């Protein structure tokens, strides 16, 4: 199921060889493995009709884990996807991954309390069901190595979990990129950083109030955390060069 977004400025294409990159960003998954797989299938069917089968680059915007039923399965699945020789996939680290890393690998007790309260118990259960005591080292190493931001400078596209500093971009730092809910970020009229001129920021982290994606301003900010784990939708933003975003969901 797809819906059109609000009008936005034309996007400059980025060329890899002879193919312009079509991105598909996916918001906060939170352990919803079956819905993620269904959304991937829906995106691929949509792409076949729109781009004639040209490759799509998936960008998963972090908060892969916690609260949902199968966080372990989500991590396994995305690790395998990044090894797929055909499907390009980029994964961004969110604040929930960071809390798990700090809890399990770094033995940070203050992080442990927050992580367990914010859905970590469901994540541990997903590992226990597979006969594991908790997240294995190769999961933690992979998550810790994930970037907290991905930029396509030729397309003026920025993918990030939570957001950016509207006054200092691109000099934001990982904590801002994983955690921010600063009021000025949500209103593009308040952006003062010269580096944000012409940029489109695609993010999650802050669930929308109506379970629908939010497009702010003239398309400068797109929020696709539509509360999948709270009974809302798991949403993808399909971004074809030069066209308005299309939103698909499960």
- 220-227's contacts with Cβ under 8 Å and 24+ in sequence apart are 220/8, 220/188, 220/191, 220/196, 221/185, 221/186, 221/188, 222/5, 222/25, 223/27, 224/25, 224/26, 224/27, 224/61, 225/27, 225/28, 225/61, 225/63, 226/27
What pLDDT sits at residue 55? 85
Q: Say yes or no to pLDDT of 65 above 50.
A: yes
> pLDDT (tens digit, 9 = 90+) per residue, 43-60?
999 999 998 878 899 999
What pLDDT sits at residue 188? 98
10 or 231, which is more confident? 231
- Domain with residue 108: its CATH number is 3.60.21.10
What pLDDT sits at residue 7? 32
5 or 183, which is more confident? 183
> pLDDT (tens digit, 9 = 90+) per residue, 203-238?
999 999 999 999 999 999 999 999 999 999 999 999
Q: Pseudo-torsion of CA 25, 145, 200, 18, nearest 10°?
A: -70
> pLDDT (tens digit, 9 = 90+) per residue, 83-103?
999 999 999 999 999 999 999
pLDDT band at 9 (very low <50, low <70, confident <90, very high): very low
- pTM metric for this prediction: 0.91
Overall domain count for the chain: 1
Percentage of the chain beyond pLDDT 70 is 92
Percentage of the chain beyond pLDDT 90 is 89
Q: Is the dihedral of CA 44, 213, 116, 178 positive or negative?
A: positive
The domain in which residue 133 lies consists of 2-249
What pLDDT sits at residue 54? 80
């Amino acid at each position: 199921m797809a819906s059109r977004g609000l009008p936005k400025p034309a996007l400059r294409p980025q060329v890899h060889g002879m193919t312009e990159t079509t991105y598909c960003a996916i918001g906060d998954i939170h352990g919803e493995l079956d819905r993620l797989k269904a959304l991937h299938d829906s995106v691929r069917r949509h792409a076949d009709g729109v781009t004639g089968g040209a490759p799509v680059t998936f960008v998963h915007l972090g908060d892969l884990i916690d609260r949902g039923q199968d966080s372990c399965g989500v991590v396994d699945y995305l690790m395998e996807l990044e090894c797929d020789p055909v499907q390009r996939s980029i994964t961004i680290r969110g604040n929930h991954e960071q809390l798990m890393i700090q809890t399990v690998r770094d033995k940070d007790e203050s992080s442990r309390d927050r992580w367990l309260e914010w859905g970590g118990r469901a994540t541990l259960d997903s590992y226990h069901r597979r006969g594991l005591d908790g997240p294995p080292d190769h999961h933690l190493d992979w998550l810790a190595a994930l970037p907290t931001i991905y930029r396509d400078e030729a397309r003026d596209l920025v993918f990030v979990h939570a957001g950016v500093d509207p006054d200092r971009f691109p000099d934001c730092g990982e904590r801002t990129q994983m955690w921010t809910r600063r009021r000025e970020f949500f209103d593009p009229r308040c952006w003062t950083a010269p580096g944000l001129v012409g940029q489109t920021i695609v993010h999650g982290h802050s669930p929308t109030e109506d379970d629908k994606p939010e497009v702010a301003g003239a398309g400068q900010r797109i929020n696709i955390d539509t509360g999948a784990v709270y009974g809302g939708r798991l949403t993808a933003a399909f971004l074809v060069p030069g066209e308005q975003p299309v939103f698909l969901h499960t």
